[in-house]
Chain A
Amino acid sequence: MTAAPILVFENVVKRYGALTALAGVSLTLHRGEVVCLIGPSGSGKSTLLRCANALDPLDQGRISFDGHEVRSSETSVRLVRQRMGMVFQNFELFPHLTVLRNVTIGPTTVLKLGQAEADARARKLLAKVGLADKETSHPSALSGGQQQRVAIARALAMEPALMLFDEPTSALDPETIGEVLSVMKTLADEGMTMLVVTHEMDFARRVANRVAVFDKGRVIEEGTPQEIFTAPKVPRTRDFLSHLGWHGESK
């Protein structure tokens, strides 16, 4: 990968009281790259994403985004967050707003875009995620897959340089997972830089440029999907994958 680094974690440590959620994580994302994070529950994947856009402060180490350190001084952090889209496991759409307003609220309140311009931008994105006909609905009237696609459109409306996805499909019914993954695949094909926490091994295999395996707050193995899925070097990775495989078959 010759593209420039855009998001760099250097020896990141994060503690919650006595618990060390991240025990020295180093990871680099390059422009246009899709990196999937996999690993057992509680291994610190969500924590890493929250640290990336400073929703959680670090205890040690350094994260830089586009050459600038992600610090916790209010304004610079807000600038970083504007340029990093985040998609949550439970969508976190704003229930009191229509689908259209969910997508425009970032541009209008943060970027101070005019309503008409924001509406136009939102409609384009809703069409892109296949929900052009839902703009006047409220989130409670949508299926999980539709809600997550609105959440993706909401993040894209800020025109981010990078997207963070935290298990975007694990709260979904199996039949709606595909529609969300296909939107993500399209984004990846268009060259969006993405850091994706996922248990969808198929997606990781087909879309990721690299896969990083997390365990106990550390990256224990990192490589191409080929390397990780066909010839994992670390025993713990093999355990984790076979555990998932076993889950897959038991369904």
Chain B
Amino acid sequence: MDINLTPILTSWPFLLKALGMTIFVSVMSTALGFVIGTLVGALRTYGGRMTNVVLGFYVDSMRAIPLLVILVWTFFAFPLLIGASINAVTAGIAGLGLHLGAYVSETIRAGLTSVRRNQMQAGLALGMSRFQAIRTIILPQAIIRMLPALGSLFVIAIKDSAIASVIAVPELLRQTQIVAGKTFRPFELYTAAMLAYFILCYPVARGVDRLYRRLSHLGSS
């Protein structure tokens, strides 16, 4: 097999822009997913029974439906429901974020319940509201304890952004497909894309691991 790097050398600005989009979509959907997940996880842990049931339904449905289907539905079906079109990037971030939020919420919930009950009592005894105690005492410990799991979810979010290629989000995989189709050099292009994902995700995974090793002692009460 002969290797021809010319397509990569000529279209690298196009692919670099695509990589930028991958990073943008990953970061935005992770931010959305972490905000949703933290809220849902805390509300399910400390809220009433009804809250728990309703939010539990959200979590279970996100886990029961393939991400691909969620993205396709958000982009192609949801606009018909509301009678307005939404752009692919917005739909992609929303779908990825909602899906990720379910998994983040379960992780946060496990973290919150693992902090022992007396920590809450110590906060309340100082005169804090439950909300203040959760925000300043319980949640920080829960997040530290759950760093490895949350880090994995972040890496998964980066990788899952590639699925948004099916709704034409101009991210790395989608744009690589376009160049590969035009130049008939799939081997070089897909290999380059694979390497790019690895180079993006590997340091994140290692970084979270190092962070956890530095912080883990702060999470054990």
Q: Which residues of chain A have a CB within 8 Å of any CB of chain B? A: 50, 53, 55, 74, 78-79, 81-82, 84-86, 88, 90, 92-96, 105-106, 109-111, 138, 140, 154-155, 158
Could you tell me if B118 and A96 are in contact, using CB atoms closer than 8 angstroms?
A: no
Instruction: Determine, out of B10-18, B43-51, B90-98, B136-144, the stretch whose residues face the partner at the interface.
Output: B136-144
> Given A88-B122, A96-B144, A110 and B221 touching (CB < 8 A)?
no
Contacts of A140 in B (CB 8 A): 217-218, 220
Could you tell me if B141 and A88 are in contact, using CB atoms closer than 8 angstroms?
A: no
Could you tell me if A90 and B118 are in contact, using CB atoms closer than 8 angstroms?
A: yes
Jot down 14 A-B pairs with beta carbons below 8 A, ordered by A.
A53-B125, A78-B127, A81-B126, A82-B126, A82-B127, A86-B125, A88-B118, A92-B118, A92-B119, A94-B119, A94-B141, A95-B219, A105-B126, A111-B127
Q: Which residues of chain B have a CB within 8 Å of any CB of chain A? A: 118-119, 121-122, 124-129, 132, 136-137, 140-141, 144, 217-221
> Given A94-B122, A138-B218, A140-B217, A110 and B141 touching (CB < 8 A)?
no
Could you tell me if A79 and B118 are in contact, using CB atoms closer than 8 angstroms?
A: no
Contacts of B128 in A (CB 8 A): 78, 106, 109-110
Could you tell me if A94 and B137 are in contact, using CB atoms closer than 8 angstroms?
A: yes
Contacts of A74 in B (CB 8 A): 129
> Given A55-B125, A92-B119, A110 and B132 touching (CB < 8 A)?
yes
Name which residue of chain B comes closest to A141, CB basis. Answer: B217
Could you tell me if B124 and A55 are in contact, using CB atoms closer than 8 angstroms?
A: yes
Could you tell me if B125 and A96 are in contact, using CB atoms closer than 8 angstroms?
A: no
Name which residue of chain A comes closest to B144, CB basis. Answer: A96
Could you tell me if B141 and A96 are in contact, using CB atoms closer than 8 angstroms?
A: yes
Could you tell me if B220 and A106 are in contact, using CB atoms closer than 8 angstroms?
A: no
CB distance from B52 to the nearest CB of A (A): 21
Contacts of A82 in B (CB 8 A): 126-127
Contacts of A96 in B (CB 8 A): 140-141, 144, 218-219
Contacts of B122 in A (CB 8 A): 86, 88, 92-94
